[in-house]
Structure 1
C-alpha cells in the first residue's frame, strides 16, 4: 500500500470514530443532559482506543483469513488476542483513565465481570458501525476506481484511434504533394508550406481533449486550400458556416475525415464538373455537418465499404457522445455525409 493510500485509510478511521462519537453523544444528550460534556469526554477516550483496534482488526487481522491461508493458527491467535483487547483491554483502558482522574466513573459500584461484559457490548456496537461504514466506503472506492479505469480505457482507445487517423490523413496529403512534385508543379512549395501549417496544428493544438470549433474550422479551411492546389478552376468548393459560438469546444480533428473523404473518393475521381459542398451549422449545442461531393454517374450504387477515416470516426463518436448520428450514402452522382451531434451529450 502506498503512503498516500495508507494516510487516506487512517483519515477514514479517524473520521468514522468521530462520527460514532457524535452519533453516540446525540443519543446520550436526551438522557444525560446535565453531564453530557463529561460523558462525551469519556466517549472520546473509549472510541479512540476502539478505533485503533478496529484498524488492526479490519486491515491487519481479518485479511489473514483470506484463502489460501498458509498458516491457519496465526490468524486465529491474533483474533483471540484482539478479542481480549476488545473486552478486558477496553475495561482496563477505562480503569487507567479513572485512576488518572480524567475519566469520570458514573457507575462506581459496577463489578469487574459486569463491567467487562458491558464494555464488550460497547465494542460490538462500534465494530458493527465501523463494518457498515467501511463497507459503504469500500463500495464508493470501487466505483471511483471503476470510473477511473473506464476513463483511462476511453482515453487509451481515443489515442489509439487518433494514432491511426492522423498518419492516414498525412499519408493521403503527402500523396497529393507527391503528385505535384512529380509533375514539377510550381505549386509544390506552396503545398509543402500549407502541409507544415497543418502539421503544426496537429502537433501543438490537436493533442488536447478539445479545441474551439473555430480552430477546427481553420484547419478544415487550410486543408481545403491544400487540396485545391491539385485542381484547376473546374473544381467547385463551397464552405458555408453558421456557428453560434466559435469557442464551443469540440474534439480536435473530428470533422476532417468527412472532408478528406469528399476529396479523396469523390472530387478526385470525378471527370466532369467536380464539386465539394460543405455546410457546418452549430446552434444551441446541436452540430450539423453536411459534406456532399460529386461522383461519376457510371459509378454503380452499392453497399458502402467505409475506409479507415470513416470507421475510426464512428468509433470516436461512440466513445465521446451519447447522442449522435452519422449517415453516409450515394444518390446517383452525389455522395453525401451527414453528421449530427448533440454536443451536450458529451460522455
Structure 2
C-alpha cells in the first residue's frame, strides 16, 4: 500500500508543476509580451526549485510537524523561511551563473529581490496547498466510494452464503422424508436437486442471471416440493415479460417461493394452492406469490426467517426503488416484490 501512496503523490505533481508554470507564464503574457521567451525560461527555472521544495514541504515536513515535536516544528518553519527567501535567491544566482536565467531588470536591490522571491515562494505554497487539498479530497471520496462498494459486495456474498445453505437444508429435508418412507420418488428428487446444485455452483457467483433462467430454477424447486404432496396441490405459474433475458440477481425470488411452501402450503390441510406471477414492463419488475395458509388472518404471524430477512437486506443493497409487501388474509398469504430495475445501485 505504501508504493500506491507514492504513486498518488507523483501523479499529483506530474500535472501540478506544469499547471503552475503555465499559470505564471499566462500572468507574464498578460502583463507584457516583451522579452517573453526569456521570461518563460526564467519561470521554468524558478518553478523547478519551488516544485522540489514544495514537494518536500507538503509530503515530508508538514506531516512530521506536531505539538509534541514543537521544537523540531519551529526549526522546520525557520528553515523553510530561509529556503523560500535566501535559498531561492541563491538558486536564481546559480541560473544566472550558468546562463539559464536572464536578468531583465538590474535596478532592483538585492533586499527587494529577496523579498520579491519570498512572496513568489509563499504564493507557490498557497497554490500547491490548495491543489493538494482538492486532490486529496477527491482521492478520499474515490477511496471511500470503493470501500463502500467492496463492503456492500462482501455483505451480499455473506447473505448469499447464508441463503444458499438454508435453501439446500430445506430441500434436503424433503428428500430425507422421501428416502425415509422408501418412496420411489427419491431418485427423481435427487436428480432435480443436482440441477439446482449445478445452477447454484456455476450461476449464482455472477452478479446477474436472466429471468428465464431464474424461472426454470423455480420450476425445478416447485417440482421437487410437489413430490411431497398428492394431486390436491394446485400450482399455477404465469408471466408477462417484455424481455425474458433481462438480468436480475440470482436466487432473488426463491426465498418468497420457499416461504410459501414452508409457512403456507405445508400447513394447509384442504385445497392447498400456490400462484406465482411475474411481469416486466418498462423495466418495472413485479413478482407475486400467493399461497394458501392453514389459519385465518387474525392468527397469522408473519415470520421473518433467514430467507426473507436476507432478501430484504439484499434488496436494500442492490436497489433504491423497491417494495416488498407482505399481505396476510383469511387462509391466504400474498407476497409482492416490486422493483424498478433502473434503480440498481
Instruction: Find the aligned partners of 1:246 and 1:235 in 2 and give their Cα distance.
Output: 27
Provide the C-alpha distance between the structure 2 equivalents of 1:327 and 1:193, rounded to a whole number of angstroms.
34
Cross-structure match for 1:211: 209
Equivalent-residue separation in structure 1 for 2:208 and 2:220 (angstroms):
19
Partner of 1:63: 63
Structure-2 separation of matches of 1:299 and 1:338:
17
Per the alignment, residue 74 of structure 1 pairs with 72
User: Quick one: distance in 2 between partners of 1:23 and 1:299?
Assistant: 75
Tell me how far 1:103 sits from its aligned partner: 1.8
Q: Distance in 2 between matches of 1:298 and 1:64?
A: 71
C-alpha distance in 2 between matches for 1:290 and 1:163: 25
Q: In structure 2, what is the equivalent of residue 14 of structure 1?
A: 14
Post-superposition Cα deviations, 1:297-340, rounded to whole Å, max 9, x if no partner, equal 56753442322211111111111111111011221121110010
Where do 1:249-328 residues align within 5 Å?
249-296=247-294, 300-328=298-326
Give 1:214 deviation, angstroms: 2.5
Checking the alignment, whether the CA contact within 8 Å between 1:289 and 1:340 is kept in structure 2 is yes
**Aligned CA distance change for structure 1 residues 41 and 297 (closer, same or farther; 3 Å):** same
* Number of residue-to-residue matches in the alignment: 345
Instruction: Calculate the TM-score normalised by the size of structure 1.
Output: 0.94
Q: Matches of 2:231 and 2:39 in 1, distance apart? A: 92
User: In structure 2, how many angstroms separate the alpha carbons of the residues matched to 1:296 and 1:303?
Assistant: 12
Q: Give RMSD over aligned pairs.
A: 1.7
For normalisation by structure 2, the TM-score amounts to: 0.95
**Partner residue of 1:141?**
139
Inter-partner Cα distance in structure 2 for 1:185 and 1:300: 37
- Identify which range, 335-344 or 56-65, moves more after superposition: 56-65
Structure 1 stretches of at least 4 aligned residues deviating more than 6 Å after TM superposition: none
Structure 1: where are the runs of 5+ without partners? none
Q: Distance in 1 between matches of 2:222 and 2:20?
A: 67
